[in-house]
Amino acid sequence: MQISIISCNIRRISCDHVLALLGVSLEENSPVVVKPGDPLTITCRVTGASITDSSSHYGTGWIRQPAGKALEWINSIYYDGSTSKKDSLKNKFVVSRDTSSNTITLQGQNLQAEDTAVYYCARHPQC
């Protein structure tokens, strides 16, 4: 059995409102497939905005969408390095950042078949 991980990106999600991010791009690595129990690493490079810009109060994070199901927020990392996580996934996924390359990374451990999904990198206002 294999777990299919397809990574994509979106430029806006909603807290209380949708905010378009003009001129900001998110670039992810190619789709990956991992075996159950194997680790996962997906990287997202942000261009057109700094992940450490305190004037914007933006976070960059990860959401996923299993086939036929709703989007599910995983975690986020903010301009100041603070993080927030979905409680039920906090032991499975970790978000980190590399300020020198303006990238964020999602690391997953002990993934199972139910983790098969499209994984999205997203920028959003800090809620």
pTM, two decimals, is 0.79
pLDDT at 55: 77
Listed by start position, the domains of the chain span 3-125
pLDDT at 90: 93
pLDDT at 37: 87
pLDDT at 34: 81
Q: What residue ranges of the chain have pLDDT lower than 50?
A: 1, 6-22
Superfamily of the domain at 3-125: Immunoglobulins (2.60.40.10)
DSSP string, 54-107: TTTTEEEEEEEE-TTS--EEEEEEETTS-EEE-GGGTTTEEEEEETTTTEEEEE
